[in-house]
Amino acid sequence: MRLLQKTIRSYIAYSVVVLLVAIPVFYFSIKSLVSEDADEHLQTIEASVRQKIVQAVQTRTLTQLAFADQDVTLSPGNGSLAFDTLTDEDIYDSVVHEHVPYRVLTSQFMVGGTPYLLRIRSSMLDSQDLIENIVYVQVVLLLILLCGLLLINRRLSKRLWKPFYSTLERLRQYAVEQGESLPLAPTEVIEFRDLNRSLKELTLRAHAAYKAQKEFTENAAHEVQTPLAVLQSKLELLMQTRPLTEEQAGLIGDLANAIQRLSRLNKSLVLLTRIENHQIKDTELILVGGILEKSLANLQGPAGGHQIDVTKDIQGDPVVEANRSLLEVLVGNLLSNAFRHNKAQGAIYITLTKNQLKVRNTGRPAALDPQRIFQRFYKESQDRNSIGLGLQIVFQIAAFYGWALEYGYQEGLHTFIISFA
Q: Which of 75-89, 384-398, 404-418 has the lowest mean pLDDT?
A: 384-398
Q: What are the tens digits of pLDDT across the range 284-294?
A: 888 988 888 88
Q: What are the tens digits of pLDDT across the range 216-272?
A: 766 766 666 677 777 778 777 777 777 777 787 777 777 777 777 676 666 666 776
Q: Which of 249, 226, 393, 421 is nearest to 321 (CA)?
A: 421
Q: What are the tens digits of pLDDT across the range 104-133?
A: 888 888 887 888 888 888 888 878 888 888
Rounded-to-integer distance, Cα 204 and Cα 48, Å: 93
Backbone angles phi, psi at 117, to 5 degrees: -115, 115
Rounded-to-integer distance, Cα 124 and Cα 39, Å: 11
Residue 371 has pLDDT above 80, yes or no: no
Query: Same domain, yes or no, for 304 and 365?
Result: yes
Instruction: Give Cα separations from 1 to 7, 8, 134, 191, 316 (angstroms).
Output: 10, 11, 39, 22, 41
Query: Same domain, yes or no, for 241 and 350?
Result: no
User: Residue 64's Cα: distance from chain center in Å?
Assistant: 85
Query: Same domain, yes or no, for 38 and 131?
Result: yes
Query: Same domain, yes or no, for 290 and 357?
Result: yes
Per-chain mean pLDDT for the chain:
80
Residue 382 has pLDDT above 60, yes or no: no
Rounded-to-integer distance, Cα 295 and Cα 310, Å: 13
Residue range(s) defining the domain that contains residue 19: 3-145
Rounded-to-integer distance, Cα 401 and Cα 165, Å: 27
Give the mean pLDDT of 175-182. 70
Domains in the chain, number:
3
Query: Same domain, yes or no, for 262 and 376?
Result: no
Residue 131 host element (H or E): helix 125-173
pTM of the entire predicted model: 0.48
Q: Dihedral angle at the C-alpha atoms of 353, 358, 361, 364, nearest 10 degrees?
A: -160
* 212 within some domain: yes
* 177 within some domain: no
Query: Same domain, yes or no, for 297 and 357?
Result: yes
Residue 304 has pLDDT above 60, yes or no: no
Residue 374 has pLDDT above 80, yes or no: no
Residue 144 host element (H or E): helix 125-173
Query: Same domain, yes or no, for 231 and 291?
Result: no
Query: Same domain, yes or no, for 293 and 318?
Result: yes
* 53 within some domain: yes
For residue 303, the model assigns a pLDDT of 44
Higher pLDDT, 47 or 64: 47
Residue 210 has pLDDT above 60, yes or no: yes
Rounded-to-integer distance, Cα 55 and Cα 136, Å: 48
For residue 121, the model assigns a pLDDT of 87
The enclosing domain of 264 has a CATH number of 1.10.287
Rounded-to-integer distance, Cα 197 and Cα 203, Å: 10
377: left (phi over 0), alpha (psi -120 to 50) or beta: left
Choose the final residue of a domain: 223, 245, 274. 274
Backbone angles phi, psi at 13, to 5 degrees: -60, -45
Confidence of residue 68 (pLDDT cuts 50, 70, 90): low
Query: Same domain, yes or no, for 249 and 300?
Result: no
Query: Same domain, yes or no, for 293 and 248?
Result: no
Give the mean pLDDT of 336-363. 87
For residue 61, give every residue at least 6 positions away whose Cβ sits within 8 Å of its Cβ, in sequence order, or none: none
Q: Which of 391, 389, 397, 394 is nearest to 263 (CA)?
A: 389
Please, how many CA atoms are within 13 Å of residue 66, restricted to the half-sphere of its CB? 2
Residue 154 has pLDDT above 50, yes or no: yes
* 17 within some domain: yes
Q: What are the tens digits of pLDDT across the range 5-38?
A: 677 777 778 878 887 888 888 888 888 888 888 8
Confidence of residue 358 (pLDDT cuts 50, 70, 90): very high
Q: Dihedral angle at the C-alpha atoms of 153, 154, 155, 158, nearest 10 degrees?
A: 120
Residue 69 in contact with residue 95, Cβ under 8 Å? no
For residue 139, the model assigns a pLDDT of 83
* 77 within some domain: yes
